[in-house]
Amino acid sequence: VAVGSLANTLSGTGISIGTSQDLTFGAGAGAVTLTFTGAGPHVRDITTANASNTLTLGSNVVMSRNLVHGNGTIALNTFNLSVAGPAPSMGAAAAAITGTGTLIFNSVGAATFTLTGAPTIAANVQMNLDLLASTFTLAGTALTVTGNLTLTRGELVPTTGLNVNGTTLTLAASTAAVVTGAGVVTFASPTTLTVNLSGATTFNNLTVNGNVTLAGTAGALTITNVLTHTTGLINFASRDL
């Protein structure tokens, strides 16, 4: 997407220009809306570079490789963006991902999400790796998620910290030791965070900085290292901590 190229729309079954299936923004103002059909994959890599880059989803978009979100805004609207690559990144505090849709990480094998500038994802996020033992590592700076967070399959390793500021955290029974590593997971919903458990769930370090309700069909929440409760009410309901 060339600098100064605005109001673009890409539609059809995906991007295929010669041997390239990538969407790359230039280092200046540029905007494009993706409206694809079919199951995909629709695009290989997506790379943003400038605060004036804007990518808007007009449909669900399936990527076969990495999201390299250096700067600018990705507006999911009500749609899903699926990222299958092992090395996604988010490169600046001003890099925004917004909407009521879902950013889905579904890599085959281990993946590392590299973060710079402690960015915020203001949308729903789902981790759905291929295997129970596959790891999804957060590296660099801390990540804040203000939408709903769902861990469907795999092991989350937040080495530099994860702030869960939405209203729902869902931990599926097919999720492994869920959260390991030295990083701290912080529950800090401005209202109440409901933690849905479907099986035995293990965190390494957890800080509770707001109201939390434990819910779900089964299981307990186990902290293997440090639990810090700074403020808020923890409602155990019928679950154990």
Q: How many residues does the chain have?
A: 241
Above 70 in pLDDT, residue 163? yes
pLDDT at 36 over 70: yes
**Mean pLDDT across 75-94:** 94
Q: Mean pLDDT, to the nearest integer, of 206-217?
A: 93
Q: Which of 47, 77, 50, 52 is CA-nearest to residue 63?
A: 47
If pLDDT is split at 50, 70 and 90, which confidence band does 197 have?
Answer: confident
Q: What is the pLDDT of residue 89?
A: 97
pLDDT above 70: residue 174: no
Structure-block tokens of residue 79? 């749609």
Helix, strand, coil shares of the chain as percentages rounded to 5?
A: 0, 60, 40
For 10-21, how does the pLDDT look when each residue is reduced to its tens digit (9 = 90+)? 999 988 655 568
Strand partners of residue 116: none
DSSP 194-240: EEEESS-EEEEEEEEESEEEEEESS-BEEEEEEEEEEES-EE-TT-B
Query: The tokens of 108 are what?
Result: 């085959």
Kindly give, in sequence order, each residue whose CB lies less than 8 Å from that of residue 147, ignoring residues fewer than 6 positions away: 100, 102, 121, 122, 123, 124, 125, 166
- Binned at pLDDT 50, 70 and 90, residue 187 comes out as very high
Q: Look at residue 153 in the predicted model and tell me its pLDDT.
A: 85
| pLDDT: which is higher, 78 or 180 | 78
What's the rounded mean pLDDT across residues 52-72?
96
Using a pLDDT cut of 90, give the percent of the chain over it: 71
* 120-142 residue pLDDT tens: 999 999 999 888 888 999 999 99
